[in-house]
Chains A and B, each alone.
Chain A
Amino acid sequence: MTKRTLGFVALGAAAAMLLSACGGGATDGNGGEAAFNQGETQVVNPSDATGGTLRYAISADFDSPDPGNMYYAFAWNFSRYYARTLLTYTGEPGTEGTELQPDLAESMPEASDDGKSYTVKLKEGLKYEDGSEIVAEDVKYAIARSNFGEQALPNGPKYFKQLLDKSDDYEGPYADGDDPLKGFDGIETPDDHTLVFHLKKPFAEFDYILLQPQTAPVPAEADKGEQYQTRVLSSGPYKYDGDYRSGESLHLERNDQWDPESDPIREALPDRVEVEIGVEQNEIDQRLVNGDLDVDLAAASVGPAMKGTLLSDESKKVNVDNPETNTLRYVNVNTVVEPLDDLACRQAIMFAADHDALQRAWGGAAGGEIPTQIMPKELDGSDQSIDLYPSEDRKGDLDKAREKLEECGEPDGFSTNIGARSDRPADVATAEALQSSLKRVGIDAQIKQYPSDTYTNTQAGSPDFVHENELGLTVYGWAPDWATGYGFMSKIVDGRSIQKAGNSNISELDDPEINKLFDEVVDEQDPDVRAQKYAEIDRLVMENAAILPAVFEKTVYYRPDNLTNVYYHVGYAGYDFMALGTTRE
């Protein structure tokens, strides 16, 4: 081939590529009726058409797809495809989605007069995927394996262990080879369809504990400990198609043993559900917009690159939802590390903080709203009028901050450290914004970064580490375990929840008045009175200046045109996966 021929060949190839590139342009979507953020308050693209394959993808992985071993909200949301729980949230957009209704249970639990026992009746005739009957003892067993004993599944919460009576000596289902439930008397099963829960003391929000995936039934003979996740025995409308392949995929197909008549919340529209695990985040965003994918399983915001594109392109913006997620992004102000053990020093930080800059660190108005208290507005008792540290344009009140510094005996400021998760850009940006805010009044804060995987257990979550490294301030985030003030605040501000590892009360706030209010609230049956008490706790936390709220986080979701029945579910902090369908085959 001569030089010239080679040149022509190359030119021809380039031209062909260019031409086909023009031809392969994006197809026009039919999202004409949709509007920006419509999915936060109403069902978008309603449809009852069944069929097709619903395609999910996630960049990381499940903490575990085993309902007894999961804590992420998206995992709880997703597990409902193959695991039914005693109770569940109602399937409604807005605050109605935080209310409860029976799932496996026939009706709502009946509490005894002293509030210490709850009776739940199971629906009759419910079956697993293999056709065997779901009985009360399987629910009891599921709770035992996820909460009790040395080999209790590590990932989920342990509320049952905390609350159930007559079970302190129970060593878990693997201790006794013959009778796995021997010694576990906190739950009685008088017959195959009745469960009686006995509590150590009254707990008014016990119903919310019964919606946890840990109440999804597991027959003792099917249990394989941590490896049960590989193939969970389905009680829901879908069952595993093949094994769960960690880091790779999870596929679900219809479960013909599921009775739609018995199920109030699951539409079960698609024929198949497929999850692709370990897809790079930018790739997920891009595929969602191209229509090659239906849902980002993690229910986290699209990445920064795509966020900018979606919010600035009017034709795409109609397919964007920007809901507030009940997640507070905040900075813990440690009440033990010097000089922040002095209230006035902590208050100086509250006054010095530039909230406008903190909001920008979270991507501005689309990233979150500026809070003046800690309880997200969707929760009963959230009091937006609490505003103890006001300032002009939310940029901080430096005079007040200096006054407070005088008061705590550090008139020239002091130095401290800010802990942040190195692999979370918004956390680091928050730390940087706070650092420059504080500099204005002479407070010198050094940023210390740690990997997010170990941050919550080993660094910020370990009081010893916090003290040793003088982490006076730590960037953090919190979403409720269930949608009430207790579900949101008890782990982060109740003094009794401070623990040596995996501590979430990182400010180590141990205020007797707050603790007392938590004691009262669990004994209070009237939800309105509880709400008042939550507002009171919220105000006390702000008075203590133990938490510096940064934003009530808002996420940016993209809903492809072919996704039907889409709405944001407050209880699961994401789209209601059980409602979704697809128009694509």
Chain B
Amino acid sequence: MLTYILRRVGAGVLLLAIVTLVTFTIFYVVPRLAGQTTEQLATMYVGKAPTPEAIEATIDRLGLDQPITVQFWEFLRGIFVGAEYQFGRDTVQCAAPCFGYSFQNYQEVFPEIIKRLPVTFSLAIGAGVIWLVGGVAVGVISAIKKGSVFDRVAMGIALAGVSLPIFFTGLLCLAFLVHATGLFPSPSYTPFTDNPVAWATGLILPWVTLAFLHAAQYARQTRAGMLETMGEDYIRTARAKGLAERKVVLKHGLRPTLTPIVTIFGLDLGLVLGGAVLTETVFSLNGIGRYAVTAIVQSDLPVILGVTLFGAFFIVVCNLIVDLLYAWVDPRVRVTA
């Protein structure tokens, strides 16, 4: 088992290295290949009254005239051993892992990501629980009561959930549930440790909206899986042995159905942790997703790079956890070194 974990961790690290290289190439090398000069790159970061000297200084400050390999090396070195930056007469230590500092607002990227992590984490966890529990429960009931009113309504709603984008459902929720009726407070983030109730009430709408999108997929997939499993011979055997229906459904029916569910849950959660871009934007939550959007709009390269790597990190980690969970969920999967 340990060898297996080590092997998977190694593969994850290698994958992250590749993601780093590819992202760096996309943002630093491609613009040059497209014919952008260092001056043109620098004018994006030089404020509203750029003088030729200011552009020169910016090129120098951001190291834009250095060979790409040197820039990449500096970037990598920052991640592992940190870096030093000069602000005014102040020398600022950027501790490892240092993703540099924003070209636009001069804040260090990594602490900024960490600062926003609780928002995104709260959003992901809350929504994840709702969509996993809700989606699977609805899927199971739908499968058992196939063809009933519940099944039809639930699957209708699930279809809507899969098809409606969050900037539609989110805005609809805000317009009706917050502004028109006042049923919910304006979504906002309060740290859990400050006030758990405010934390939950402030996030409930984003949770539900984000969960709605994902739950639908889980309900449909669970229903399909359950229908398939419940037709298997061993279910008939279990029933013939006189097992209680609840046990047949939950232990023998649901368990194998969960294998693909765990897979997609891991990936979905990883994606949301990497930044639920639309949800955070629609509900004005300052998480990693919104940070990424702002950075992209402002061509803020170090931030884009930092957020991409951070997102990739979560997806790799969640994948790893999924692989390990397989063995527990589905007895047919055995981990061997």
Could you tell me if B286 and A247 are in contact, using CB atoms closer than 8 angstroms? Answer: yes
Binds B, one of A110-118, A225-233, A319-327, A537-545: A225-233
User: 10 A-B residue contacts at CB 8 Å?
Assistant: A63-B48, A155-B47, A173-B88, A226-B87, A247-B291, A282-B171, A283-B174, A453-B298, A453-B299, A502-B50
The yes or no answer to A96 lying at the interface (CB within 8 A) is no
Q: Which residue of A lies closest to B102 (CB)?
A: A246
With A71-B49, A245-B115, A502-B48 in contact, do A228 and B182 touch (Cβ < 8 Å)? no
Q: Which of B52, B57, B282 contacts A151 (CB 8 A)?
A: B57
Q: Are B87 and A224 in contact (CB under 8 A)?
A: yes
B138-189 CB contacts (< 8 Å) to partner A: 145, 148-150, 171, 174-175, 179-183, 186
A453 proximity list for chain B (CB < 8 A) = 44, 297-299
Interface segment among B105-113, B128-136, B194-202, B251-259: the answer is B105-113
Closest 10 A-B residue pairs measured CB to CB?
A225-B88, A154-B47, A225-B87, A24-B182, A21-B181, A226-B106, A502-B50, A155-B47, A150-B57, A457-B43
Q: Are A225 and B90 in contact (CB under 8 A)?
A: yes
Which of B183, B281, B299 is close to A454, meaning CB atoms less than 8 Å apart? Answer: B299
Interface pair A246/B112, CB less than 8 Å apart = yes
Chain A contacts of B282 at CB under 8 A?
280
Task: Please tell me if A341 contacts chain B, counting CB pairs below 8 Å.
Answer: no
Query: In the complex, are the beta carbons of A20 and B40 less than 8 A apart?
Result: no
User: When chains A and B are docked, how far (Å) is the Cα of A502 from the Cα of B88?
Assistant: 24
A378-414 CB mask vs B (1 if < 8 Å, else 0) is 0000000000000000000000000000000000000
Complex-state Cα separation, A21 to B181, whole angstroms: 5
Cα–Cα, bound, A17→B181 (Å): 9
A154 touches B186 (CB 8 A): no
A340 CA to B106 CA in the complex, in Å? Answer: 42
A155 touches B48 (CB 8 A): yes
The answer to whether the Cβ of A451 comes within 8 Å of any Cβ in the partner chain is yes
Residues of A within 8 A of B149 (CB): 3, 7
Query: Can you name 5 extra interface pairs (CB under 8 A) apart from A152-B57, A225-B90, A247-B105?
Result: A61-B105, A286-B174, A286-B175, A500-B52, A501-B46
Q: How far is the CA of A226 from the CA of B86 in the complex (A)?
A: 10
In the complex, which residues of chain B have a beta carbon less than 8 angstroms from the beta carbon of A477? none
Known interface pairs A225-B88, A453-B299. Does A283 touch B284 (Cβ–Cβ under 8 Å)?
yes
Task: Check if B47 sits within 8 Å of A247, measured CB to CB.
Answer: no
A292 within 8 A of B: yes
**Docked-complex contact A177 and B89, CB < 8 angstroms:** yes
A499, B57: Cα distance in complex, Å: 17
What residue of chain A has the Cβ atom nearest to residue B280's Cβ?
A278
**Does B93 sit within 8 A of A, measured CB to CB?**
no
**A462 at interface (Cβ–Cβ under 8 A)?**
yes
Is B222 part of the contact surface with A, judged by Cβ < 8 Å? no
Q: Are A248 and B183 in contact (CB under 8 A)?
A: no
CA distance A61 to B90 in the complex (A): 25
In the bound complex, CA of A443 to CA of B44 (Å): 33
B20 within 8 A of A: no
- The answer to whether A20 and B150 touch across the interface, beta carbons within 8 angstroms, is no
Q: Which A residues are closer than 8 A to B by beta carbons? A: 3, 6-7, 17, 20-21, 24, 61, 63-64, 69, 71, 145, 150-158, 173-174, 177, 180, 223-229, 245-248, 277-280, 282-283, 286-287, 290, 292, 451, 453-454, 456-458, 461-462, 499-502
CB-nearest residue of chain B to A286: B179
Whether A278 contacts B284 by the Cβ 8 Å rule is yes
Instruction: Contact check, B43 vs A227: say whether CB atoms are below 8 A apart.
Output: no
* Bound form: Cα–Cα A23–B299 in Å: 47
Q: Given contacts A174-B89, A282-B171, are A24 and B181 in contact (CB under 8 A)?
A: yes
Q: How far is the CB of B182 from chain A (nearest CB, A)?
A: 4
CA distance A461 to B47 in the complex (A): 12
A248 to chain B, nearest CB (A): 5
Enumerate chain B residues within 8 angstroms of A21, measured Cβ to Cβ: 180-181, 183
> Given A247-B291, A283-B284, do A156 and B47 touch, yes or no (CB 8 Å)?
yes
Contacts of A292 in B (CB 8 A): 186
B25 interface hit (Cβ, 8 Å)? no
Q: B60 — which chain A residues lie within 8 A by C-beta?
A: 150
Is there an interface contact between A223 and B53, defined as CB atoms closer than 8 Å?
A: no
B183 touching A457, Cβ below 8 Å: no
Least CB distance from A243 to B in Å reads 10
A158 to B49: give the CA distance in the assembly, Å: 7
Asked if A458 and B88 sit within 8 Å, CB to CB, the answer is: no
* Smallest CB gap from A491: residue in B: B49
CB pair A457 B90 closer than 8 Å:
no
B43→A246 contact, CB < 8 A: no
Contact between B92 and A227, CB atoms less than 8 A apart: yes
Q: Residue on A with the closest CB to B178? A: A286
Is B88 a contact partner of A151 (Cβ separation < 8 A)? Answer: yes
Q: Contact at A247–B106, with CB atoms within 8 Å?
A: no
B55 contacts A by Cβ under 8 Å:
yes
- Tell me the bound Cα distance from A498 to B281 in angstroms: 38
CB nearest neighbor in B for A69: B47
On whether the beta carbons of B105 and A280 are closer than 8 Å, the reply is no
Closest A-chain residue to B108, C-beta based?
A227
- Whether the pair B88, A174 counts as a contact (CB closer than 8 A) is yes
| Residues of chain A within 8 A of B281, CB atoms compared | 280
Contacts of A462 in B (CB 8 A): 40, 43
CB pair B87 A154 closer than 8 Å: no
| A515 → chain B closest CB, angstroms | 20
Flag if A501 contacts B49 (CB, 8 Å). no
Using a CB-CB cutoff of 8 Å, which residues 47-92 of chain B contact chain A? 47-58, 60-61, 86-90, 92
Q: Does B237 contact A (CB under 8 A)?
A: no
Interface string of B298-309 (1 = CB under 8 A from A): 110000000000
Query: Is B290 in the interface zone, CB < 8 Å from A?
Result: yes
Determine the chain A residues whose CB is within 8 A of the CB of B56 once the complex forms: 150
Query: Which of B40, B86, B298 has most chain A Cβ within 10 Å?
Result: B40
CB-CB under 8 A from A173, the residues of chain B are 88-89
Q: Which of A151, A278, A457 contacts B290 (CB 8 A)?
A: A278
Determine if B39 is an interface residue (Cβ-Cβ < 8 Å). yes
Does the CB pair B284–A280 fall under 8 Å?
A: yes
A286 CA to B174 CA in the complex, in Å? 10
Q: How far is the CA of A3 from the CA of B61 in the complex (A)?
A: 69
Instruction: Name which of A158, A227, A245 has the most chain B CB atoms within 10 A of its CB.
Output: A227
Contact A287 B150 (CB under 8 A): no
| Of the residues B44, B87, B115, contact of A458 by C-beta under 8 Å | B44
Please give the distance in Å from A224's CB to the nearest CB on chain B: 5
